Amino acid sequence: MANLNEMIDDFGFLDDWEDRMRYVIELGKALPDLPDSEKTAENKVQGCASQVWLSVSSGEGADPDMTFRGDSDAFIVRGLVAIVLSAYSGKKASEVVSFDALDLFKQLGLLEHLTAQRANGLRSMIQRIREEAARRLV
């Protein structure tokens, strides 16, 4: 999976909306599959039109490192999941809570082109990630 800085650089070279969406789909194809054992009702993100699963793990301590894995049954959404995971995974819980990935999607020129359903699903996923991190802060 590409790291966030690489993705931002790559999006910077793409002027056309269609090229950006093709890149989002490529990112989704490169996202490792989530094992079926983690595609549970508990891991399903509510508020998404497509099926989206989010698995969370964290280290120990007052501000643990967070690891997120995810998947979707839709190509474009799977790419959005890949971007969100790159933005949040590997960060401290306090960083996750304070970072709003919606600003990142605006910066990448993606947010204004998402359908209302996809944008709502994206918001739900980001909210869920930030809530999971907040629960782990002591």
* CATH number reported for the structural domain that contains residue 104 in this entry: 3.90.1010.10
Task: Provide the domain limits for residue 66.
Answer: 4-136
pLDDT digits (tens, 9 = 90+) for 101-128: 999 999 898 988 888 899 999 999 999 9
Marked catalytic residue, from 27, 48, 52, 97: 48
Q: Tell me, what's the pLDDT at 1?
A: 56
Number of other residues whose CB lies within 10 A of the CB of residue 129: 25
Mean pLDDT over residues 66-92, rounded?
95
Tokens standing for 46? 């509510």
Confidence of residue 45 (pLDDT cuts 50, 70, 90): very high
How large is the C-alpha radius of gyration of the chain? 14
Q: How far apart are CA 39 and CA 60, in angstroms?
A: 24
For residues 32-60, give the mean pLDDT: 94
* Mean pLDDT on 32-59: 94
pTM: 0.93
Mean pLDDT, residues 27-49 taken together:
93
| Cα distances (Å, whole numbers) of residue 111 to 31, 32, 93, 121, 128 | 20, 24, 25, 12, 18
What is the mean predicted confidence (pLDDT) over 10-38? 93
Residues 92 and 136 sit within 8 Å (Cβ to Cβ): no
15 versus 87: which is more confidently predicted?
Answer: 87
**pLDDT band at 4, cuts 50/70/90?**
confident
Q: What span, in angstroms and rounded, lies between the C-alpha atoms of 10 and 29?
A: 16
Q: Establish whether 135 is a catalytic residue.
A: no
Determine the Cα–Cα distance for residues 98 and 137; give it in Å rounded to an integer: 12
**Which of 66-80, 82-96, 104-118 has the weakest average pLDDT?**
104-118
- Domain count along the chain: 1
Give the HSE-up count for residue 28: Cα atoms under 13 Å, Cβ half-sphere. 18
